Structure 1
Amino acid sequence: MLRILKEVRQGGEGSTADVSALEKWYSDDLPNILLEFDLKDIWNADEKGLFYRQVPNKSLVGEEEGIPKGVKLKKERITVLLSGNALGERFPVWLAG
């Protein structure tokens, strides 16, 4: 499987990024790369952490009630993977946890 793009975490200051080079790459290089593939073969996947037992960290209270005491947040989570291709086809959701 050929992978052209990958996700990376950016570090440092955002003001040092070369925005003009990125715009040039998007307008000149990326369209030529995408021409090499069928739309069914261009897809995106995104993972999300779902903390299913966690209580909200904000609350509304009346003036007479005061500030509620803190609650330790639960850490149980499920990782959800969502994916689809450039034709708009969605693939089955994957769960891990």
Structure 2
Amino acid sequence: MRTFAIFLLIALGWLQYTLWFGKNGMSDYAQVSNDVALQEEVNQGLRNRNEQMFAEIDDLKKGSEAIEERARHELGMIKKGETFYRIIDENSEG
């Protein structure tokens, strides 16, 4: 009976060791939990960016004002009959 109790105690010790320090133990669980939390933050940022892009796509599909705004700011285009003025600061270099 005594050897059986010692065997059970050793088995319990081994199980506790593998639970806390072994592969897929508590330390691995904590690391994976941290990785999941970080990935969820990244995913939320990407979701927000996607929502902004979809809103911009809807603006471009539905209205000509958004297209005109992009053409003016990004491409430097002007309407027919408009005059473009560039104001240069005297103190600026270039």
Q: TM-score under structure 1 normalisation?
A: 0.20
- Larger relative helix fraction: 2
Larger relative contact order (C-alpha < 8 A, sep ≥ 6)? 1
- Larger relative strand fraction: 1
- Indicate the structure (1 or 2) with the bigger Cα radius of gyration: 2
Q: TM-score under structure 2 normalisation?
A: 0.20
